[in-house]
Structure 1
């Protein structure tokens, strides 16, 4: 897989209809190589500190159970809105996420945008020009 360490985020799009998030980044030694990061079959996402010139540190796939633990307050606040899906108890949410093969991707930044994505997969590839 293509390295994303120190890539600058140029833009990102959230396509709710196609359940896809696409980051356009620049990487390589001089940050001139266009690299695409795609999250596919997304369920939910959360980004913060979106800044011009955001620099990626890493994207890690973490245990889906960590998503529930890391975001307890957010889940409690949004539960009545059926976000990210309808569930009675967080245990039910966790079971459905596991059963449907969702992954928890955490986006770490050296500077700027960071957050997470719940999706079934993600890929990184060099954009063809």
Structure 2
């Protein structure tokens, strides 16, 4: 997967109907490239501090087992609303995510937007802008 390190986030679109998130970015290297990140089969996402000029430090796939400990408060607040899905226990949620082959994609930030996406697939496309 191409690196998004130091890419500026230009925009992102959440398509709830089609379970997709498209994030448009631009590299800040000598030869700038537009890089689109397409998350598909999205179950849920959580983005914090979306600011103009947000810069990505990295996009990493973490083990599903890390989702619950790092997001317990957020999961607890959404559980009564069926978010990210209906479940009775954290074990049940974790098993479902693993069995249905979800990826826990974590966006870390140098500045601005950070967060995560639970999706079945992630693709990055690259286009030279020069």
**Distance (whole Å) between structure 1 residues aligned to residue 21 and residue 128 of structure 2:** 18
Taking only aligned residues, the RMSD between alpha carbons, in angstroms, comes to: 1.5
Stretches of structure 1 that go unaligned for 5 or more consecutive residues are none
- What residue is the counterpart of 1:123 in the other structure? 123
State the shift of 1:28 in Å: 4.8
1:46-80 Cα deviation digits (max 9, x unpaired): 00110000011101100101001111111111111
Q: Give the superposition deviation at 1:25.
A: 0.6
1:101 counterpart = 2:94: no
Aligned to 1:66: 66
| Structure 1 Cα separation of the partners of residues 77 and 10 of structure 2 | 32
Partner of 1:2: 2
Local SS of the residue matching 1:69 = helix
Counterpart for residue 48 of structure 1: 48
CA distance in 2, matches of 1:28, 1:106: 21
TM-score normalised by structure 2 residue count: 0.93
**Structure 2 residue aligned with 1:89:** 89
1:4-52 Cα deviation digits (max 9, x unpaired)? 1111000000011111101111115147311101111100000011000
2:94 is paired with a residue whose SS is: helix
Quick one: distance in 1 between partners of 2:30 and 2:83? 40
4+ residue segments displaced more than 2 Å: none
Give the secondary structure class of the aligned counterpart of 1:81.
Answer: coil
TM-score, with normalisation over the residues of structure 1? 0.94
> Cα 1:78–1:34, aligned 2, differ >3 Å: closer, same or farther?
same
